[in-house]
């Protein structure tokens, strides 16, 4: 997939980031005289862009267009944000945490955005969240998965409108057990930063409960963005395992799958991938049939049919000629949560543009429907979302030339997310107390 700068309505470029201003259809209400300036941050370049960041950016553009036209289904059908035309400033997340801290300050202090939706990398989320809090500006983290962001710090102005990674790993382990996958030995390969380390810990702890006799063979932590996995493939090949678990994503996952397949690594092991749907459109039959994977939610090929999902998929497919994947879904639900929060706060503010504090008060403990199901801001004092998810196996359809999901199992939010005010790893090690699984 190639990223294209929008052709006619997004025109402004800044020195250190790609900045795109939308001049979109007037909303037609009294409030439409005013705009809502929204910063959006996602990977537009680098190895995380093609399968992750650009699909998220494409979803953001679609939501701005549809919201400004008032074309979204109820309750998202009021033009813009409460009649205020949305002006999007799109920033590239590539470059690391130090750069992103400066970029976020620029968004708030130079671009004067009213709110920011952004960030895929857990490292970037950990870096920027304290900045938004310091400046008392509204920030919705739409993606990054590390539980540590809200479990080790408390925020008033910072939210995450998607579940954290504990859900992905608990559901993956439950799926293996429910589908009688034999696991005597497991190999692990995860990126050496917050996302990879936390995912590894949650999966190993979950497997320790469900497969107490399983042994760990290779346990590898290559750096984020490594790209080359020759050494890792050699190590994994030398330690045959029932399953090979990974939370790799983006270009790292693509490279690992291609390089591992070329050397026959996956012939005698079952791949168990916590966040892998986004590489399927690009890799197709290069992903071994029978790979067990999640999408960090009931997204993409694992999503359930609903009027909202049908509307989103049709609009995204029409605009981008490919079905949406996980990052697209999470960006969309981030927009939907913020839109309802702004409009709720606006109603309480006499129809005037709400302050960051008023938006935060409206977002906290809210719930809303999304194309991937119900989202409830119910953890960490109402700052962190929970949602349901799904896990399935891959099956390449040679006629349609797409990868489909088979043997899909869904998991309710109450089954795979910890209760409020309990750290994920403590909940897992305690045996999932309070979990309600069908």
User: pLDDT for 210-250, tens place per residue?
Assistant: 999 999 999 999 998 888 999 999 999 999 999 999 999 99
Encode pLDDT of 85-122 as tens digits: 999 999 999 999 999 999 999 999 999 999 999 999 99
Element (H, E) at 336: helix 326-348
Element (H, E) at 342: helix 326-348
Sheet containing strand 402-411, strands side by side: 215-220, 185-189, 243-246, 270-273, 292-294, 389-397, 402-411
User: 166-303+388-430 belongs to which homologous superfamily?
Assistant: Response regulator (3.40.50.2300)
Would the pLDDT of 299 be above 90? yes
Domain boundary assignment for the chain: 35-163+305-387, 166-303+388-430
Would the pLDDT of 25 be above 90? no
Encode pLDDT of 26-61 as tens digits: 334 444 459 999 999 999 999 889 889 999 999 999
From residue 198, give the alpha-carbon distance in Å to each of 120, 194, 283, 310: 15, 6, 26, 33
The answer to whether 247 touches 276, Cβ cutoff 8 Å, is: no
Through-space distance between the first and last CA atoms of the chain, rounded to whole angstroms: 38
Same fold, 35-163+305-387 and 166-303+388-430: yes
Encode pLDDT of 196-209 as tens digits: 999 999 999 999 99
pLDDT at 33: 59
Give the three-state DSSP class for 76: coil
pLDDT at 75: 97
Count other C-beta atoms under 10 Å from residue 326's C-beta: 28
pLDDT at 18: 40
- 363, 364, 388, 360: which is closest to 375 by C-alpha? 388
| Token digits of residue 97 | 């945490």
Q: Give the integer Cα–Cα distance in Å for 158 and 218.
A: 37
- Selecting from 1.10.3300.10, 3.40.50.10440, 3.40.50.2300, 3.40.50.970, what CATH number does the domain 35-163+305-387 have? 3.40.50.2300
At residue 409, φ and ψ (nearest 5 deg) are: -120, 130
């Amino acid at each position: 997939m190639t990223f294209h700068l929008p052709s006619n309505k997004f025109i402004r470029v800044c020195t250190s980031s790609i900045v795109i201003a939308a001049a979109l259809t007037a909303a037609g209400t009294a409030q439409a005289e005013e705009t809502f300036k929204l910063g959006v941050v996602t990977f537009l370049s680098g190895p995380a862009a093609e399968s992750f960041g650009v699909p998220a950016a494409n979803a953001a553009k679609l939501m701005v267009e549809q919201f400004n036209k008032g074309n979204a289904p109820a309750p998202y059908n009021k033009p813009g944000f409460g009649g205020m035309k949305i002006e999007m400033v799109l920033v590239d997340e590539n470059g690391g945490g130090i750069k992103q801290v400066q970029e976020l300050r620029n968004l708030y202090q130079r671009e004067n955005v009213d709110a920011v939706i952004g960030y895929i990398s857990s490292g970037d989320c950990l870096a920027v969240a304290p900045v938004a809090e310091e400046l008392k500006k509204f920030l919705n983290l739409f993606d990054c998965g590390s539980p540590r962001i809200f479990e080790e710090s408390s925020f008033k102005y910072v939210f995450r409108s998607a579940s954290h990674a504990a859900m992905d790993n608990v559901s993956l382990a439950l799926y293996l057990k429910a589908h009688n996958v034999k696991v005597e030995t497991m190999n692990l390969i995860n990126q050496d930063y917050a996302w990879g380390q936390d995912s590894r810990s949650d999966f190993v702890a979950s497997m320790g409960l469900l497969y107490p006799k399983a042994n760990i063979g290779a346990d590898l932590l290559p750096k984020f963005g490594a790209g080359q996995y020759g050494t890792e493939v050699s190590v994994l090949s030398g330690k045959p395992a029932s399953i090979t678990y990974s939370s790799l994503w983006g270009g790292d996952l693509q490279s690992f799958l291609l390089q591992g397949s070329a050397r026959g690594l996956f012939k005698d092991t079952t791949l168990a991938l916590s966040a892998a749907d986004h590489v399927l459109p690009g890799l197709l039959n290069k992903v071994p049939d029978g790979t067990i994977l999640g999408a960090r939610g009931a997204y993409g090929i694992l999503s359930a049919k609903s009027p909202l999902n049908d509307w989103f998929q049709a609009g995204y497919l029409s605009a981008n000629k490919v079905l949406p994947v996980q990052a697209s879904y999470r960006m969309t639900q981030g927009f939907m949560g913020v839109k309802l929060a702004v409009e709720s706060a606006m109603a309480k503010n006499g129809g005037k543009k709400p302050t960051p504090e008023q938006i935060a008060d409206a977002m906290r403990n809210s719930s809303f429907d999304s194309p991937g199901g119900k989202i409830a801001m119910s953890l960490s004092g109402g700052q962190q979302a929970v949602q349901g998810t799904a896990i399935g196996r891959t099956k390449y359809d040679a006629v349609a030339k797409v990868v489909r999901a088979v043997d899909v199992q869904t998991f309710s939010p109450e089954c795979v997310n910890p209760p409020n005010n309990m750290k994920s790893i403590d909940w897992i090690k305690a045996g999932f107390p309070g979990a309600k699984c069908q």
